[in-house]
Amino acid sequence: MNYRYVSVLVLCVALLTGCSWWRTVQHLGKSYPAVATIDVFYAEKDIKAPQYEYVGEVFLNVGGLVTPELENMLIEAGKQRGASAILISYNLTSQPSSENGVVSTPILRGRLIRYL
């Protein structure tokens, strides 16, 4: 098989899938022993626990579309940090740029929740 063809094919597949295999989840906050499962929420009003606290956040820069694979990366990061639940949201963060004035970066954000 032609190696040039294979390398071009791999590059195209990586670009089409969003290159999520090289992304790293950033973490800010506390960590606890890892857990096997956590609850996943998309709105704060859906959290039904009587008492809970936010213990940290995990972030992932995304290029545009959010895929289930990217969400799973945040969920796995929450499990590894011992969260009871995660509240997932999609935000645009703005940063100054010398060329255009302001650049917006899409961020997938997970607030880590610990039930009390």
Q: Distance from first CA to last CA of the chain, Å, rounded?
A: 58
pLDDT of residue 19: 47
Distance CA 108, CA 20 (A): 12
Taking only Cα atoms into account, the Rg of the chain, rounded to an integer number of angstroms, comes to: 17
Residue 37 CB burial class (10 angstroms; 0-12, 13-18, ≥19): exposed
pLDDT of residue 5: 55
Q: What is the CATH number of domain 23-115?
A: 3.30.110
* pTM score of the predicted model: 0.73
13: pLDDT confidence band, cut at 50, 70 and 90?
A: very low
Residue 20, pLDDT above cutoff 50? no
Q: What is the pLDDT of residues 70-84, one digit of tens each?
A: 899 999 999 999 999
Q: What is the pLDDT of residues 28-87, one digit of tens each?
A: 999 999 999 999 999 999 999 999 999 999 999 887 677 889 899 999 999 999 999 999
- Could you tell me which residues are beta bridge partners of residue 27? 58
Domain map (residue ranges) of the chain: 23-115
Closest CA to 79 of 43, 110, 116: 110
Distance CA 98, CA 19 (A): 27
